Amino acid sequence: MYEQLLESSGLTKNESLAYLSLLKLGKAKSGEIVRDSKISGGKIYETLYKLVDKGLVKYITENNIKFFIANHPKTIIEYVKERERNLQNIEKELGSIVPNLENIRKLDSRAETVALIKGLRGVATIVYDALEKAQNISIMGVRSGKNIKFNNFWKKWHRHRVALKKKAKIIFSDKNTDYWRHFKKQKYTQVKEILHFSPGALMIIDNNSFIFSYDKELICIHIISESIAKSFKGFFDELWNFAENS
């Protein structure tokens, strides 16, 4: 338990083991720490000196023998705080260079790419990015029975869409659910239904096509292609004209 918590604070596994051994042993030689922590003898000095650099361990020399001593456990809190401050500074620096990085990343708008993205965080990045420049949003195969975390994710995304005054057409595969009602009364949103029929969860935003799969995690196939998006949009328009408007 202690080892995992120390690793979460930024220490490596070996650093955590060595530090815990020193807390238990008090003043100890490297060999004693190796025996207690089961760290490789070839790695022990590298590990201990890293702990010294982090301010968690100190050493003294007696009769030409080096002894290591763990500093007070409160120093871990100071180490974590210092690490957080460094991360905040890095975050600020990264924020200042993001525009330059975006220029480096410039993509040919005509390029056709296919990517597989797993997890809410990765999917969020691409769908929010597409939303900012969206001119046309069409969504079909929407079901209410997904895990609530996925429904909440899309509610938040659509709230942002509405805030940007971006219109969307949505075809649900069910109706009369709380999730369905949420979108029926939402501004800048048209909802229709094709019950008991689902061509799969698909969202088309301009030249971007997103195919979604919901299981334990959200999986998305992201296709950037004008021709494929046009084909999907044609299929969507046919379904839209056929769908119920309750």
- pLDDT by residue (tens digit) across 29-48? 999 999 999 998 999 999 99
Per-residue model confidence (pLDDT) at position 196: 73
Alpha-carbon gap, residue 224 to 228, rounded angstroms = 8
Per-residue model confidence (pLDDT) at position 212: 94
Q: How confident is the model over 45-62, as a mean pLDDT?
A: 90
Same domain, 118 and 238: yes
CATH code for the domain in which residue 180 is found: 3.30.870.10
Judge residue 135's burial from the number of C-beta atoms within 10 Å of its C-beta, 0-12 exposed, 13-18 middle, 19 or more buried. exposed
The whole-model pTM stands at: 0.59
Domain boundary, last residue among 45, 74, 103: 74
Per-residue model confidence (pLDDT) at position 6: 85
Determine the Cα angle at 153 with ends 194 and 140, to 5°. 20
Per-residue model confidence (pLDDT) at position 106: 58
Per-residue model confidence (pLDDT) at position 157: 98
In sequence order, the 6+-apart residues with CB closer than 8 A to the CB of 111 are 224
Same domain, 166 and 65: no
Higher-confidence position of 72 and 139: 139
Q: How confident is the model over 106-113, as a mean pLDDT?
A: 61
Query: pLDDT band at 207, cuts 50/70/90?
Result: very high
pLDDT at 110 over 60: no
Per-residue model confidence (pLDDT) at position 198: 63
Same domain, 54 and 126: no
Per-residue model confidence (pLDDT) at position 181: 96
Domain boundary, last residue among 15, 46, 74: 74
- At residue 33, φ and ψ (nearest 5 deg) are -70, -40
- Range of lowest pLDDT (58-62, 94-98, 129-133): 94-98
156-205 pLDDT, tens digit per residue, is: 999 999 999 999 999 999 999 999 999 999 999 999 998 876 667 999 99
Same domain, 226 and 144: yes
Give the C-alpha distances (Å, rounded to integers) separating 101 from 98, 104, 132. 5, 5, 18
Average model confidence (pLDDT) across the chain: 88
The domain total for the chain is 2
Secondary structure of the chain in the HEC alphabet? CHHHHHHHCCCCHHHHHHHHHHHHHCCECHHHHHHHHCCCCCCHHHHHHHHHHCCCEEEEEECCEEEEEECCCHHHHHHHHHHHHHHHHHHHHHHHHHHHHHHHCCCCCCCCEEEEEECHHHHHHHHHHHHHCCCCEEEEEECCCCCHHHHHHHHHHHHHHHHCCCCEEEEECCCCCHHHHHHHCCCCEEEEECCCCCCCEEEEECCEEEEEEECCCEEEEEEECHHHHHHHHHHHHHHHHHCECC
C-beta separation of 46 from 59 below 8 A: no
Taking alpha carbons only, the member of 183, 221, 224 closest to residue 206 is 224
Same domain, 164 and 235: yes
pLDDT at 220 over 90: yes
Per-residue model confidence (pLDDT) at position 144: 92
Which domain does 138 fall in, by range? 113-242
Q: How many residues does the chain have?
A: 246
Q: How confident is the model over 21-26, as a mean pLDDT?
A: 90
Per-residue model confidence (pLDDT) at position 80: 85
- At residue 188, φ and ψ (nearest 5 deg) are 55, 30
Alpha-carbon gap, residue 8 to 220, rounded angstroms = 30
72-106 pLDDT, tens digit per residue, is: 888 888 888 888 888 888 788 778 777 776 666 65
Domain boundary, last residue among 74, 97, 132: 74
pLDDT at 107 over 60: no
Same domain, 66 and 130: no
In sequence order, the 6+-apart residues with CB closer than 8 A to the CB of 116 are 219, 220, 221, 222
Alpha-carbon gap, residue 13 to 16, rounded angstroms = 5
Per-residue model confidence (pLDDT) at position 30: 92
Alpha-carbon gap, residue 106 to 173, rounded angstroms = 37
Same domain, 237 and 117: yes
